[in-house]
Amino acid sequence: MEYKKPSLTVDAIILIDGKLVLIKRGKDPFKGQYALPGGFVEYGERVEEAVEREVKEETGLNAEVSDFLGVYSAPDRDPRGHTISVVFYLEKIGGQLSAGDDAAEVKLFDLANLPELAFDHSEIIHDFIMRLTD
C-alpha cells in the first residue's frame, strides 16, 4: 500500500524596528498577495537551515532562528496540496531588504495594519501577536 505524504514547508516571522517583513508573492498560488517569507524544505535539509535559506532568497536578509513558534498542518492550508509548515521567529543579522527568488516585492508592515495575507498566514501572525502579549 502506498501512502500519500504531505510536503514540509517553513515560514518566518521577522520584525525590523517593530515592523513585520512580508513578501508579495510573484507566483501562484496567491500571486500578488502578501505572505510571510518561506518555502519548501529541500531533501536532506534541516528546517532551521531551510527557513534561513528561504529568508535570504526572498528578502535579501541574513537572519538566524531565534525561537520556534509552531506547526501549522491543516490539510487545506495550501491549494497545491497538504503542506505542513514549521514556523520560526528569526532575527536579522545582516543583508539589505530586497525582493528575490519568487518574491515580487518585500515590505515592512505595522502589525496593527497588515494587508490581506496568503495561505493561513493571518492565523500564524495572530498567534505570534497573542504570544507577544502573554
Q: Which residues are catalytic?
A: 105
Separation CA 58–CA 101 (nearest Å): 5
Backbone φ, ψ for residue 64 (5° rounding): -125, 150
Residues facing 108 on adjacent strands: 21
Q: Does an H or E element contain 28, and which?
A: none
Alpha-carbon span 4 to 51, nearest angstrom: 24
Three-state secondary-structure class, residue 57: helix
Describe the chain by its helix, strand, coil percentages, rounded to 5.
Answer: 20, 40, 40
Cα(8)–Cα(118) distance, integer angstroms: 17
